[in-house]
Amino acid sequence: MKVLIIEDEAPAARKLEKLLKEIDSTIEVVDVIESVEEGIEWLEENQHPDVLFSDIQLADGISFLIFEKVLPKCPIIFTT
């Protein structure tokens, strides 16, 4: 399963990635995105993952702004 993490706090992103790998070692974290701008760009330019984990409050705004611009083709799990 391919996973995208949107989280601006590096320790929280690392912890989530570690937890996911403990649950299933075959999970592949394709990228960790840190901002609204970067999230929009990534989703426009890359194949969408199987699932997306997203913090709500990012340094440059709320993650909902990403999803107003680009509708992901996968489930979103909010981790806040």
State how far the Cα of 24 lies from the Cα of 11, in Å rounded to an integer.
20
Instruction: Quote the pLDDT of residue 80.
Output: 83
Q: What is the pLDDT along the chain (80 residues), one digit of tens a residue?
A: 999 999 999 999 999 999 999 999 999 999 999 999 999 999 999 999 999 999 999 999 999 999 999 999 999 999 98
First to last CA, the chain: 22
- Sheet of 51-54: strand order equals 28-33, 2-6, 51-54, 76-78
